Structure 1
Amino acid sequence: IINNGCAYVVEGDVFFDVEKSPTTMANYRDSGWKTIELAAKPGEKSWDSPWGQGRPGWHIECSAMSARYLTFKFDIHGGGIDLIFPHHENEIAQNRAACQESCVRYWMHNGHVTINNEKMSKSSGNFLTIHQITERYHPLALRHFLISAHYRSPLNYSVMQLESASDSIFYIYQTLLDCEVALSDVFQVDDGEKDRISAPAQLCFKNLQDEFYARMSYDLNTSHLLTGAFQDALKFRNSHLNMLKKKQPKNQQLVMIRSLRKIKNKVKEVLKVLGLLPRSGFSQVLQQLKDKALKRAGLVEANVLFMIEKRTTARKNKDFSMSDQIRADLSTRGIALMDVGNETFWRPCVPVCNPTAL
């Protein structure tokens, strides 16, 4: 930058010369530009430089790192929305001053995660670490929560939103697991029409694909990707699995099996792009989600199974008031009871009242 005439030295400090910058800097002359290199002060960490002991200024650190590891031309530069000015403006000016061909194709500035509509930050003391959150919520539930807003928009943190994200991701994985189990039990004969699927499946597949491409092409808008056509695909799976259990002509059954596989694979493809497809099987992640729910509820599974047994006894004795009370008590702690035939199962749910905050 100095060799290109865009910086000068004053008593060991290196300053950027706004007047000679190759970018338009007229509006920034009085904006408090940082020095490129600062002379060392007593007690500060410093390094040798051609101008004596010193340390790099804030902006040149990022310019140097990106140029060193990515060259002066690369595709994506990220950062918080509060860094657009002055930090990234400084970076651009310095990079262009060092190399006229310097270019970043996309600048992606993310909104802040807020608590009570205030920026979450260490300096404010109102922050939570990833470790604190994932002690109580599955990392995939946290990811689901984070992509629920457009990346440029602020995202207000709340326990109930994390509960909702956890509930949604459980439903998605349970739906896919049910589909895989059902299809694994079906013996499929090749009828020579391996690509033929039903008309409703074709429409469902097209809607899911079109909506995914449209939203992701619009500045990676993930905020509603797991609603709309995605939820329709899950409902398609549920309705067609029920139909698969009914006796029907072999050719219709084969079409239905292919349709279910096609939709299931497309749903998994969407999840993979979003980083929501678990590396382990769905069964393992579902159990992990249940374990986290038990931890938040202050229970172990034996407690829940005991309450299920107690409720079963109450129902046999026609003590429906007790039965309803047990179900209601568990639901306030994020545990839902599901009656299927003569059996009762449990799964996590959004607590009917606010859970204890982190």
Structure 2
Amino acid sequence: MEVKLYNTLSKQLEVLKPVEENTVKMYVCGPTVYDYTHIGHGRTYVVYDAFKRYLSLRGFNVVHVMNITDIDDKIINRARSEGRNWREIAEEYTRDYLEALKNLRVRIDHHPRVTDHIKEIIEFIQVLIDKGYAYVAPSGSVYFDVDKYEDYGRLSGRTSREMWSQEQEFVKEKKNPYDFALWKASKPGEPYWESPWGRGRPGWHIECSVMSSRYLGSRFDIHGGGTDLIFPHHENERAQSEAYFGGRWVSIWMHTGLVMVGQDKMSKSLGNIVPLREAFAKWGIALRAWYLMSHYRRPLYFTEESLEQAKRFTERFASTWQLLGKLEKESVDLHYVRDEDLRMLRYILEARERFHTALSNDFNTPEMFSVINDFISFVNRDLASRPVHLLVSQAKRVFTEFNTVLALVEEESTGSEEVDSLIRVIVDVRRELRSMKMYDLADRIRSELMKLGIVLQDKGLETTWVRKREV
């Protein structure tokens, strides 16, 4: 069964065809850490986590990277208004963000931070200047020359120059008002890094281009984020990255709808946010169910009623999980199977097929919930009165797949997550060894991991890994 996704660039459903067989590389724009995480942010985090879980269920090795923007105008302004150091602001709200991910059971493979990649950002910008796509202004700021990139505007659908206006700062020194900053010359009292063009710091858009390509390569499969990032952020990312690499950069652009309060989007600027830590204290893991009950591309409307509905579903899901465990212990293995048993078995298998059909078709989670609700009724009404081992074992297996994506019930740990984390650490260490040309030791690590069934796949200095059974 092919996995199809709506591609914002082509405006149509496309089959997911990984650049590297069996490995899906996915980059999602993460937070600018200047304030507390709110439930609008949480939707994006949960949707891509659930999608990653589904792809993993289908046998893909998924590399999921999400950045942390720890230097930005908003961080500097917050620090100035509170009389604090900007690093202190970034660290405080990074901790809040990571706690939010933990509460929502969201797992990210790698969290690169902007301030750890200044050198790579400067090098990336210099290449764009050398290629003629960027220019240095008198102030020492560097801008991308949008007119040099002929495909600008196709991602967002903004096809005319009148629709491209974005940054107003230093507009007089730009060639065009719609050119955007790659490097911002520092102002008095602001943090800065040395560069060939003077002291300054990265522009917003260049950060994601550099960090995504550093960890996922010059071409990867999925770039995600909220719909509010399509313009200008993702439009600019695409322009500068394809100018740098000289070809298609991302296969599928995937965007989540916004969380709405009435007719307005939930945002800090409008003052209508609900901090995620407060929402989690009230609704707990039911937030995960709430985020996924609406299709990821559509707006999600915040109401107490919808969250209470999600909470009731979560409780029903958990009680059915417990019932299946009880039935598994009490089930009997019969020598004679009735026609009714065969009908029930067909229902279980068809429910599984409907579940995969829904999620393979543009990650249709509302249809998935319809399947799961029907299945929960079946377990409580039919299976509970006929605990035949064949039926119970199959039902438990299917329900486990449901939970793999939803992650509403914590299963007994098999240690697999810990093992995956350890492998990623080993791969990162090996990358550093290769960068220092310590190839003998790097090759020994590869060989030892191979014996354990872990296959490393090198591409330049970057490495992905899969288990032998997945190759």
Normalised to the residue count of structure 2, the TM-score between the two structures is 0.52
The secondary structure found in structure 1 opposite 2:382 is helix
Q: How does 1:206-355 map onto structure 2 within 5 Å? A: 206-227=349-370, 229-244=371-386, 256-279=388-411
Cα shift readout 1:106-153 (whole Å, capped 9, x = no counterpart): 2111111122232111222211122101111122x1100000011111
The secondary structure found in structure 1 opposite 2:235 is helix
* Structure 2 equivalent of residue 87 of structure 1: 233
Which structure is richer in relative contact order (CA contacts within 8 A, separation 6 or more)?
A: 2
- Partner residue of 1:4 out of 124, 131, 135: 131
1:173 aligns with 2:318: yes
The secondary structure found in structure 2 opposite 1:198 is helix
- Partner residue of 1:16 out of 134, 137, 144: 144
Residue 174 (structure 1) shift = 0.9
Cα shift readout 1:161-182 (whole Å, capped 9, x = no counterpart): 1111111111122122123213
* Structure 2 equivalent of residue 133 of structure 1: 279
The secondary structure found in structure 2 opposite 1:38 is strand
Normalised to the residue count of structure 1, the TM-score between the two structures is 0.68
Q: Is the 8 A contact 1:39 1:52 kept in 2?
A: yes
Partner amino acid, structure 2, of 1:27: S
Cα shift readout 1:177-222 (whole Å, capped 9, x = no counterpart): 1232133134547x599xx993222331233123212221221111
Identity value in percent: 36
Residue 280 (structure 1) shift = 5.1
The secondary structure found in structure 1 opposite 2:365 is coil
* Structure 2 equivalent of residue 119 of structure 1: 265
Residue 241 (structure 1) shift = 4.1
Cα shift readout 1:285-340 (whole Å, capped 9, x = no counterpart): xxxxxxxxxxxxxxxxxxxxxxxxxxxxxxxxxxxxxxxxxxxxxxxxxxxxxxxx
Residue 22 (structure 1) shift = 5.5
Q: Quick one: distance in 1 between partners of 2:306 and 2:146?
A: 46
* Structure 2 equivalent of residue 142 of structure 1: 287
1:77 aligns with 2:210: no
Q: 1:192 to 1:239 in 2, by over 3 A?
A: closer
The secondary structure found in structure 2 opposite 1:162 is helix
Q: Quick one: distance in 2 between partners of 1:242 and 1:210?
A: 22
Structure 2 unmatched ranges of 5 or more: 1-127, 154-158, 166-177, 414-471
Cα shift readout 1:240-292 (whole Å, capped 9, x = no counterpart): 34533xxxxxxxx7xx33112212220221221233342359xxxxxxxxxxx
- Partner residue of 1:27 out of 145, 154, 160: 160
Q: Is the 8 A contact 2:141 2:184 kept in 1?
A: yes
Q: How many residue pairs were aligned? A: 266
Partner amino acid, structure 1, of 2:223: H
The secondary structure found in structure 2 opposite 1:128 is coil
Q: Is the 8 A contact 2:331 2:392 kept in 1?
A: no
Cα shift readout 1:26-53 (whole Å, capped 9, x = no counterpart): 7347532322112111122211110001
The secondary structure found in structure 1 opposite 2:188 is coil
Give me the CA root mean square deviation: 2.5
Q: Quick one: distance in 2 between partners of 1:17 and 1:183?
A: 64
Which of these two proteins has the greater Rg computed from alpha carbons?
Answer: 1
Partner amino acid, structure 1, of 2:291: L
Report the more deviating stretch, 200-209 or 8-17. Answer: 200-209
Structure 1 unmatched ranges of 5 or more: 245-252, 282-358
Partner amino acid, structure 2, of 1:16: F
Q: Quick one: distance in 2 between partners of 1:187 and 1:152?
A: 45
Q: Is the 8 A contact 2:256 2:297 kept in 1?
A: yes
* Structure 1 equivalent of residue 62 of structure 2: none
Q: Quick one: distance in 2 between partners of 1:106 and 1:60?
A: 19
